Amino acid sequence: MRLAELARQSGVPRSTIKFYIREGMLPAGEPRARNQATYGPAHLERLALIRALREVAGLRLEVVARVTAQLDRGFDGDPIGEALLAIHAPATSERAKGDAAELEKLRAEVYELMRGLPWTTGDERHFFAEEIAGTLLQVRQYLYPDYPVAALLPLARVAWLLSEVEFEHAPGGPRVPLRARRDDLAEPTRRAILGSVLFERIFAALHRAANSMRSIRISEELPVPPADAPAKEPR
């Protein structure tokens, strides 16, 4: 199909498609002549991914570009896991918050702690350590000057538990297919990434609700049920 057709089918304006191509997040069409190119279903899928990441997940274009770059690169391991990691690389302009040396020290500590967890792999590209260290630095600046890195451990346990819950309770079993063929990857990747972001948002809402309720319960001296209390049946 050609550009106009791609625009029609995807619902994305011609000019926006060209913009995405310019930005490198959508591959250019297969050139037929100096000013003629054809696009395939892969372009449609990529467009759907970009739009979903932008509009549904609210990711910035910079992050979307990183994810698609990861998808377009060759893979050694699991492309979906890699793409999920790519979402994580910190935005370029977020550096230089406070002391760079302090940040690096903290990052190393966080990294060490993460490696001690039973579930991390030996992966070197642990962007999250950088993000966590950055946020931790802010925690120390704004809240608790001596907040220890080790205090992350219980949070990490809960995070792994949450991941287990999400994977097990996903309809139709685990979201992520085992060793799919390269060309079957676009759709599962879209679903995995979107699922990750959407459920993160839902969980964040639940989490803030829980914090609010806990705060209100404490302040109003209502009972504060323990975490293992059974849920009442709704209605």
Q: List the one residue from 37, 44, 89, 170 that touches its own copies (CB under 8 A).
A: 170
Using the minimum distance from each CB to DNA, give the nearer residue, 58 or 174: 58
Pairwise CA distance, residues 120 & 109, whole Å:
15
Which distant-in-sequence residues (6+ apart) come within 8 Å of 6 by Cβ?
A: 17, 29, 39, 43, 44, 47
Could you tell which of its own copies, DNA, none binds residue 32, using a CB distance below 5 to 8 A set by kind? Answer: DNA
32: which residues sit within 8 A by CB, 6+ positions away? 38
* Choice between 60 and 105, CB closer to DNA: 60
Does residue 164 bind its own copies (CB under 8 A)?
A: yes
Nearer to its own copies, 29 or 137 (CB): 137
Q: How far apart are CA 42 and CA 47, in angstroms?
A: 9
Residues 174-213 that bind DNA (CB under 7 A): none
Which one of 9-17, 18-26, 73-81, 98-106 is the stretch in contact with its own copies (CB under 8 A)? 73-81
194 binds, among DNA, its own copies, none (CB under 5 to 8 A by kind): its own copies
For residues 97 and 134, the answer to whether their CB atoms sit within 8 Å is yes
Number of neighbours of residue 211 by Cβ within 10 angstroms: 10
The least distance separating DNA from the CB of residue 43, rounded to whole angstroms, comes to: 10
Minimum distance of its own copies from residue 13's CB (angstroms): 20
Rounded CA separation 87/100 (Å): 23
Nearest distance from C-beta of residue 102 to its own copies, angstroms? 16
Would you say 37 or 90 has its CB closer to its own copies?
Answer: 90
Task: Please choose which of its own copies, DNA, none residue 67 contacts, taking the beta carbon within 5 to 8 angstroms, the exact cut-off set by kind.
Answer: none
**Residue 66 and residue 193 in contact, taking contact as beta carbons nearer than 8 Å:** no
Q: How many residues does the chain have?
A: 235
Interaction of residue 117 with its own copies, rule CB under 8 A = yes
Residues 191-230 that bind its own copies (CB under 8 A): 191-192, 194-196, 198-222, 224-227, 229-230
For its own copies, the binding residue among 4, 28, 56, 100 (CB under 8 A) is: 56
User: In terms of Cα–Cα distance, which of 172, 179, 191, 197 is closest to 45?
Assistant: 191
Structural contact between residues 120 and 113, judged by C-beta atoms closer than 8 angstroms: no
Handedness of CA 29, 32, 38, 42 (dihedral sign): negative
Is the four-CA dihedral 188, 65, 63, 120 of positive or negative sign?
positive
Which residues in this chain contact DNA in the complex, by CB under 7 A?
2-5, 13-16, 18-19, 21-22, 28-29, 31-37, 54, 60-62, 93
